[in-house]
Structure 1
Amino acid sequence: MDSDVLTVREVAAYLKIKEKTAYRLAAEGKIPGFKVGGSWRFRQRDIENWIETQSSGIEPGENER
């Protein structure tokens, strides 16, 4: 179960971005994440789905109109 939830460091490495950028994207709501005791955490499947959405150019909820 631990491997399903990523830290900022892990998500930054996964996305090949700097940790500071991962923090900023999370705080701006641009990548899916949640805070636990003040620390950002990310579900791996949410990040993978976000990558697919970014790759396809479709905004979440766009097909629901």
Structure 2
Amino acid sequence: MNMKYNNYDDMPMFLSIKDVADTVGLSISRIYDIASTDKSFPCVVLGRRKVVPRDEFKSWIKASSKGF
């Protein structure tokens, strides 16, 4: 996996589905599955494109990982 962002602050305000997949180490199709089935996943539709707000994604990760 080749990360193009070194840390959270380097990420843009909106992440592409590919960026999210690369960040968490899952496939793009799995992230689309999560976006369509998990109502808490922070996905925004802009035209025909799905993007994920960076700050909401970080909060979702924290909330989803509680108990681990």
TM-score bracket relative to the smaller structure: 0.7 to 0.9
The aligned residue for residue 22 of structure 2 is: 13
Q: 4+ residue stretches of structure 1 with deviation over 3 A?
A: none
Q: TM-score, normalised by structure 1?
A: 0.75
Q: TM-score, normalised by structure 2?
A: 0.72
Counterpart mapping for 1:1-65 below 5 A: 3-28=12-37, 29-57=39-67
Bigger Rg over Cα: 1
* Corresponding pairs, count: 56
Q: Sequence identity of aligned pairs in percent?
A: 20
Q: Over aligned residue pairs, what C-alpha RMSD do you find?
A: 1.6
Provide structure 1 residue ranges, at least 5 long, that are not aligned to the other structure: 58-65
Give the structure with the larger helix fraction: 1
Provide structure 2 residue ranges, at least 5 long, that are not aligned to the other structure: 1-10
